[in-house]
Amino acid sequence: MKRLAAALILLFSISAPAKDNLNPADYPLTAQVVSTGKSSGSPGALTMPVGSVLTAVPFTTFFAEIKVNDGKTYIVSGSDVQNLQVGEGYSARITDGNRKLEILGKDSKSKLRQWSVVIDKVHE
């Protein structure tokens, strides 16, 4: 029984997510959330093949306007926008060939998390 318990503890410690090692120093920018919103599409706005039948799929897009201390304002989208609070400042970095903004913040349990959003538009 002790071996089983030791094996389980070892298994769970090995499978800890890599995001627990987030380093704020790797996020050199400061991102200020100016506004957030969501846009919902009506059924039928997007049709996807399911088997041999086209099915209407409703959708919701989350978006935000984020001012970054690089002098630019970014319009971003993605499901992670739901985690951002208007007026809050976050550590951030731009990745994936200037196509993504990765934001470092704390979740509802005050645990450090990285949220990734797609950069849709940049205002100089």
CA distance 17 to 14: 9
Give this prediction's pTM.
0.71
Tokens found for residue 10: 């070892």
Residues written for the chain: 124
CA distance 100 to 118: 5
**The predicted structure's pLDDT at residue 103:** 97
Per-residue pLDDT 10s for the chain (124 aa) are: 445 444 445 444 443 344 568 999 999 999 999 999 998 876 554 455 556 665 566 678 899 999 999 999 999 999 999 999 999 999 999 999 999 999 999 988 999 999 999 999 999 9
**The predicted structure's pLDDT at residue 86:** 96
